[in-house]
């Protein structure tokens, strides 16, 4: 459950702080900074999502609380959502031949921010499910 809360905090931070700051620096710099930021985020968020899923399923099996299972499924859903929905945008942004100052790059970065917000919402709902389960005891 802690992993889900950490994932949520990181995801919301990215949407509310990092990505807007990146975008405020101009398209070329934002696109340049995107790659190293993305690589670091993957190394942190994937293990948190997986560990949270496993912990949520284990808590569901031990307690029978359906809210743990819902939380586990929601935090897990960020993985296929990322791979299926966000990854095509990521690949285009990370293309070494991309004109980092183009209007298309700006549009892709804007789109990425909106798609990432879905991950933030999914993880927030998952963390809320875990918290309610814990509080119900």
Predicted confidence (pLDDT) per residue in 73-103, tens digit: 999 999 999 999 999 999 999 999 999 999 9
| 48 band by pLDDT with thresholds 50, 70 and 90 | very high
Q: How far is CA 85 from the centre of its chain?
A: 12
- Residue 80, Cβ density class (10 Å: 0-12 exposed, 13-18 middle, ≥19 buried): exposed
What percent of the chain has a predicted confidence (pLDDT) above 70?
100
CA separation for the pair 69, 65 (Å, rounded): 7
């Amino acid at each position: 459950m802690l992993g889900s809360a950490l994932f949520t905090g990181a995801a919301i931070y990215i949407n509310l702080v990092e990505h807007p700051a990146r975008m405020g620096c101009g398209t070329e710099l934002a696109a340049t900074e995107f790659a190293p930021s993305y690589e670091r985020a993957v190394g942190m968020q994937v293990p948190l999502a997986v560990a949270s899923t496993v912990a949520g399923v284990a808590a569901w099996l031990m307690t029978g609380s359906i809210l743990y299972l819902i939380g586990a499924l929601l935090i897990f859903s960020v993985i296929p959502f990322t791979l299926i929905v966000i990854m095509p945008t990521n690949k285009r942004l990370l293309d070494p031949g991309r004109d980092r100052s183009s209007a298309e790059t700006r549009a892709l970065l804007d789109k990425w921010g909106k798609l990432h917000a879905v991950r933030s919402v999914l993880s927030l709902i998952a963390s809320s499910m875990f918290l309610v389960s814990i509080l119900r005891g």
